[in-house]
Amino acid sequence: MSTIIKETTNATHNGIFPSNEVMLDLKKLKKVYPTPKGDYVVLEDLNLQIRKEEFVTIIGHSGCGKTTMLSMIAGLNEISGGHISVLGKHIKGPGPDRGVIFQAPSLMPWMTALQNVLLGVNQVFPDATKAQRNDIAKYYLQKVGLEDAFDKRAADLSQGMQQRVGIARAFAIKPKVLLLDEPFGMLDSLTRGELQDILIEIWNKEKITAVMITHDVDEAIFLADRVVMMTSGPRAKIGDVLEIDFERPRTRKAVLEHDDYYKYRKHLIDFLEH
């Protein structure tokens, strides 16, 4: 198993990534909420560059502004200062080039699993034939293990299954950037592990640049190329960045057995506790 993981820990990502192209660029990002007692600055001077095909996880204390940052990238929250660009182009509002997997599965409960995925696919591939779009949606539902549940209504699926549909919906629209807002936060730990495996498996194939918020240190290490630690708010910014030099594809067992695993873990926990 240990052969999967790179023996040398001092290797840089230059060797792993096919390109150094910057996919997502956050520059001097600022978020201010006006309150009767004056402005409340959530984020200030936040700079982050994420490379193409990189998987970045973000951890930080509750209420530090992680979700605010993610929804700003998604375009669902106004930017107060600075800018966000995808492949060098400033974003304007939300769009399917930035797919989102929300914390709650956010499926339309009156639609079937397939219809939920098709809702996005139809929007992104308007020129494809109906059969082609169906095939795309079914392909991703199969990838998340829901081949038997195409025609089940979302309301009748368990929370874990609903989140699987959420993953399929996000990948099926082939976004440039995938934004994940604590997608497994509401699941029990067994289901969470299952879904992490599914997510990483499908991600290994698609290599979509991903930014994921999590509270779970192990999850952050297992999934990420880099773990970004945010300082506590107000005026939150990037506190520290940890490169995770495990080779892909990874297995949970190999990651847990790796010598550096506990070093990474200690680093993150030290940051969170100070």
Partner 1 sequence: MKQSVTLGKVSKFMGLGFLSTFKDLFTGKLGKEDYKNFLRKIIVPIGSVLLFIGLWHLGARTLYNTEADFKINKALTEQGQAAADEMAACIASGDISCQPNTLPSPSQVWASFQSLLNDHALISADKAAFAEKTAALNEKRVAEGKDPIVYTGRPSFVDQIFRSLKTVFAGFFLALLIAVPLGIFIGLSPTLKSAFNWFIQIFKPVSPVVWYLLVFMIVKTLLIDSSEDSSFTISFIAVGLCSMWATLVNTSMGVSTVDKDYINVAKVLKLGPFQKVFKVVLPSSLPLIFTGLKITLSVAWMVLIAIELLAQSPGLGLFVWEEFQNGANDSNAKIIVAMFVIGIIGFLLDRLMLTIQNAVSFEKTDAI
Tell me whether residue 50 or residue 172 sits nearer to partner 1 (CB atom). Answer: 172
Backbone angles phi, psi at 131, to 5 degrees: -65, -40
Structure tokens at 34: 């006006």
23 lies in the binding site for partner 1 (CB under 8 A):
no
Tell me whether residue 140 or residue 222 sits nearer to partner 1 (CB atom). Answer: 140
Find the binder of partner 1 among 21, 49, 83, 110 (CB under 8 A): 110
- Bridge-based pairing state of the strands 98-101 and 89-90: unpaired
Size of the site for partner 1 (CB under 8 A): 26
Give Cβ neighbours of residue 50 (< 8 Å, ≥ 6 apart). 22, 23, 24, 25, 56, 177, 209, 211
Backbone angles phi, psi at 212, to 5 degrees: -130, 130
In whole angstroms, the minimum distance from the beta carbon of 106 to partner 1 comes to: 4
Tell me whether residue 5 or residue 157 sits nearer to partner 1 (CB atom). Answer: 157
Residue 29's DSSP bridge partners are 46
130-143 helix and 189-206 helix, angle to the nearest 10 degrees: 130
In whole angstroms, how far apart are CA 66 and each of 11, 62, 142, 179? 29, 8, 31, 12
Segments of 158-251 assigned E as strands: 177-181, 209-213, 226-230, 238-243
Q: For the CA atoms of 264, 265, 268, 270, what is the dihedral angle to 10 degrees?
A: -110
Q: Is 24 helix (H, G, I), strand (E, B) or coil?
A: strand
Q: Residues 114 to 173: which contact partner 1 by CB under 8 A?
A: 119-120, 123-124, 151-153, 155, 173
Find the binder of partner 1 among 22, 32, 104, 202 (CB under 8 A): 104
Q: Residues 190-229: x/- map of binding to partner 1 (CB under 8 A)?
A: ----------------------------------------
Binding span for partner 1 by CB under 8 A among 52-60, 109-117, 209-217, 244-252: 109-117
Q: Residues 65-94: x/- map of binding to partner 1 (CB under 8 A)?
A: ---------xxx----------------xx
In whole angstroms, the minimum distance from the beta carbon of 18 to partner 1 comes to: 27
Tell me whether residue 106 or residue 251 sits nearer to partner 1 (CB atom). Answer: 106
Task: Say which amino acid occupies 266.
Answer: K
Tell me whether residue 68 or residue 222 sits nearer to partner 1 (CB atom). Answer: 68
Tell me whether residue 60 or residue 120 sits nearer to partner 1 (CB atom). Answer: 120
Strand order in the sheet with 81-86: 38-51, 22-35, 81-86, 89-90
Structure tokens at 110: 């009156």
Tell me whether residue 151 or residue 273 sits nearer to partner 1 (CB atom). Answer: 151
Find the binder of partner 1 among 67, 85, 106, 191 (CB under 8 A): 106
In whole angstroms, the minimum distance from the beta carbon of 105 to partner 1 comes to: 8
Q: Using CB under 8 A, list all residues that contact partner 1.
A: 74-76, 93-96, 98-100, 102, 104, 106, 108-111, 119-120, 123-124, 151-153, 155, 173
